[in-house]
A and B are shown apart, each in its own frame.
Chain A
Amino acid sequence: MAISRRRMLQGLGAAVALTASAGVGLATSPLRPSRSASGTPEGGADSQRQWAFVVDMRRCDGCNDCTAACQSTHYLNKDQEWIKVYEVKARDGSTYYMPRLCMQCENPPCLKVCPVAATFKSREGVVLVDQDRCIGCRLCMAACPYNARYFNFTDPPRPPGPFDNPMPEFPVPQRRGTVGKCVLCAHYTSRGRLPACVDACRMDALFIADLNSDVMTNRSGETLQFSRYLRENDAFRYKEELNSSPRVWYVAGHGQALEERRRR
């Protein structure tokens, strides 16, 4: 089920072979439909995706476009920030921004405590909530070390049309009395689309990555080798010491002036 470290390392090794084709094949491939026939997690290098995420905090300017895009995609109440941008004061007096989504932990503390297995992990490594099963005990919210979970205290906005069939991959509309969280837009990625937040980030700070094919890409289509990018940019995972093995990597900002990236 969960991707192991070993597997992760294999992915990194395979990356060398993939580098050559990175510019060509992979630019389009990582977001292809994932429900491939071979299906087994240990299948071919790109038979199945193992989603991960990279946040380049050097680029984030704190505009909150990602949060807005997520909320409108999933018809969320305003107090639900499945991707939330923290404004952090650094020691030198500068400010940087840290977007936080669900870390899609490989060893998720939220999943372990759920009494009814409403929280589960998809084959692609995305932690999902079955909102038709969740009893709303909120123990998972107490257990998540990243404040990544949100409770529907009130009824969420209704999407237009006859939608009333939320699925874990596309939990719209949210159900009152249950817990919701970032699903890494599982309904988009499975159809080859970028997650809403990645698609909305005009600073190109957010990347969706696939551990299997070892590539990452962002809104403007910058496509990079994932493992190399992590290495060269000193990427880190938040609260690594807790052993939750998050699948979101951060590249720290250094208080430098923001790059001129924002484009239309």
Chain B
Amino acid sequence: MKTKNTTSYNRRQFMKHLSKGAAITLIMPSVLSQGLTSCQQRAESFNTLAMQTNDLIKMMAEFTQVYKQHAASDIYTREAACMKVQWRGIVQDIQPGDLFAGRSTQPPIGCRPQSNEGFLGYYIHKNAIKKLYNAPDISAESKKTLDELVDFWNTENTVAKTKKAFTPEMTAALPSDDYVNESGIAFTLWRMSGVQFDYGKLIRNGIVGLKAEIEDYRKQVDAGSDKHKFYTAALSTLDTFSEVSLFYAEQALKLASQAGGGQKKELQEMAAVLKNVATEKPKSFREGLQLMYLYNALDGARNYGRMDDSLGDLYTADIESGKIDEEEAIRLLTGIWKLMAARNYRYDTRLIIGGKGRINEANADKLALAIMETSKRVQDIVPQVALRFYTGQNPALYQKGLEVLATGHPFPMLYNDDVNIPSVQAAFDVPYDEAIHAIQYGCGEYVLNHRSVGTPSGLINLLQALIVTINKGIDPKTGKHMGMPAANYAKYNDFKTFDDLFAAYKEQVEYHVVQLAKHEELEYVFAGKDNAYFLSSILMDDCLKNGKGMFEGGIRYMGGTLESYGNSNTADSFTAIKELVYEKKKLTLEQVRQMINANFEGFAKERKMLLDAPKYGNDNDTADQMLVEIHNHLCHFTRQQRENTGLHSYLVVIINNDANTVMGQQTPASPDGRLAYTYMNPGNNPVGGADKNGVTAFLNSLVKPSTAIHAGAVQNMKFSKELFAENRPMLEALLQTYWQNGGAQAMLTVVSRGDLEDAMVHPEKYQNLIVRVGGFSERFVNLPPETHREVLSRTLY
């Protein structure tokens, strides 16, 4: 048993750490010391922060109590007070071998911009709650408490409040958010993802600097004003951060007292680091990493910005002074990589290196190289490192990137500044000086680093839109009406001409996009009504200046995005219909309708005709032009929606997580010959296996759809190991040409087909085979068979 020894939590010491002279209303959690006591009580290994069921429910009850107590107060004060309770449900114990603190989880009830189970703001995770009910150690009293909590939050959570505000038109067009289990043309998404912080500011200023800035702002506003409350609550939230950091310092010291040798020293060092970054400016690379990671974990953000830029100076200073060598730096980075892997946000965890717009490029480049070397050695599915490059950049970075890719590791993803910057200028309608800050998050959506938000709040399945249109409003899967009103079809003359059909499809798409844009706006409004999201907003331009949370209008550019799926299948479907029905007249549209509704049963010959029609991905002008038309229509119409909303931009993203597969499983057979309930194409890629004309033709097709009208499109390319190993100069010439031709981005997987096929049979031998599934990477053996087939179907060059 542990005694109450060593350094128990010292509130006075904590107060001393807080910035001097600041008049801060601290809403100190009264239970803080209780938390510690209970830790010590249950400590088998000396203390554990991870809460047990009843404690967790107690914490959530208290969180709810605090929330209710602030019914009459402003959202800022309420949020800051809630944060002071919530963090105890977030922090997780330091584990043996950890170099950094900041393991974290999400309590089933809480508050953050983006949380599990598709939530934002104040949330309740229904599945997690179910688990709590079933926990063996739950007490009867806790159950009762939980009943009350569920009852309260079921209506009080931010999503529920937003849903209540849906207009009838929105409800009609967007009936569901369950794209996994239901068929549909458009779905809503709930989260505020893709927030990319100004980590550079955090690291250059430290908590002390941030607070000084906030205090300066506060001095300029009237006491009692909303802004005054905003700044006060922001300061209080930073105090919560300090508290958490010190709390961890404490834990590290306790662990150190029990450990021996190298471990002891390591933990003591960790404690010293945490103690300093709790309030002060980080003085070393290690401190910078700790500050960034812990801040991110406490907020719940899932991406790590331009890490080479934010930490390059500290890295270089430490290397140059001899404080650490490169090996030590890689060891530290590996420590962070390990925590990222434990958090396991495989759709996020983006980390961007390289490119224009970094403050000290020379220093950043050095760190970028170390980051890639770390990824090469660790070979895990996160972080998703993305390398930006431009003509004139230090070539060592690009070369290092290829070297890592050659090992079969899917990172870095490659982003071509020469194409992306002008594209972002046009699509986002921002000047060059802002466009150079475009980076990606999540599955490849672009945002302007800490200047804009751009979360995708909806998705559209273009292929389903076409299938339903051909069926004049009936979803063949359910036999029920779907999409735009049946009466709207009357003007399209029974699709006598191709133009009639195409126009009807466009109206179908537009009918949904209009509401998706309005939904995005509505989601922001409600996200902003409930919270300032202080940890995020403090590091997002220009929230402090404006004295507002990012979703209340504090952010410089309030942008939104729409995920679109099935683009290539839709284009190929139209190509086949145009050729076979309207030009060669070998089939009627009615026949096509019957064929797809019958999943081609009894129509094998006709299906072959559809399959033999030209396909996107072969540098075939007919097929590619169709894709461009689909693309232009969707992107332009979506972009126009900023005029119908208060959004600075509303743009399509042609990204891919596994939604192409998941939604495909709900989508009937299509006129491109695709069978019912099978995957759709990933991202901007051709339909798997449809590209048969060689890699140069494939790449030439990829660059045809404009990059200047959307907020990101991903392309997956699979190359063989042999090509990388034996023909490197040719591979480089190939990529170089692709970039010159307008290639914006590439996700390369280097495998041999034999590897993939064998991995399906002998998964045990391929534990480390990682493949890209569009927007994220995964061990091949962990993917479901349907996704295996999708990955295998992509042509290997």
Q: Does chain A bind chain B?
A: no
